Amino acid sequence: MALATALAEAFANGERWAEVELAIASARSSPAERLAIGEWYVAQGEWRSAFRIGSAVLSVVPCPRAYYLAYPLAWWDTVLRWAGQYGVDPYLVLAVIREESGFAPTAVSPSDARGLMQLLPSTARWIAEEKLKIPYGEADLYSPDDNIRLGTWYLSYLLDQFEGDLVWAVAAYNGGPGNLRRWTANGVASPADLLAALRSTETREYVAKVLNAWLTYRWLYGG
């Protein structure tokens, strides 16, 4: 604990080397020390670092403190604002962020999806300019507030398209609504049938991970 406290104090005093030392220390410290470092990251709003430490500790010691780090209420005020405006469960928004970017605002995928909710620039432009009638620039995708707003609206849109069915909406968020309809052209009677019908292994795994994270968030925070 003393190492984590000393490094945190050094970082707070502007000694930037301590950030690197914190990362090194988190890898070689005891679970209790790593949890303390992760909780310090939470206090700084460094959600990705907290998430990574919590996830690592959770794989070894499944304790409540590790769960809260691995499933943080990242950018919670922003998530609540846009989830409330667009009628989406805020824990679903967090679950998508967790799976899409691991809470990294500057994440870019090989397919050029960007930001916390991994939106393609073309999709983001369509949402902003055609649907929300707001100004749009590609730099907006790296802004947590803007990215969460656009991504949450898109989740709401997909939920409307698929009559509130979480499995369909989450699958469409990953695979695209057009692909989803092609994959399921022979008819699907239930969410389980949908998962079996998905031709993309990536999308099947994605749906399972997002829904598991959503349920975990609701379990942790009483949703």
**Active-site residue, from 21, 39, 100, 138:** 100
Name the phi and psi angles at 133, rounded to 5.
Answer: 60, 50
Q: Is 176 exposed, middle or buried (0-12, 13-18, 19+ CB in 10 A)?
A: middle
Cα dihedral sign, 101-102-103-108: negative
d(CA 74, CA 49): 11
Euclidean distance between CA atoms 66 and 212, whole angstroms: 16
State phi, psi for 222 to the nearest 5 degrees. Answer: 75, 30
Q: Is residue 99 flagged as an active site residue?
A: no
Tokens matching residue 153 = 């609206």
Catalytic residues: 100
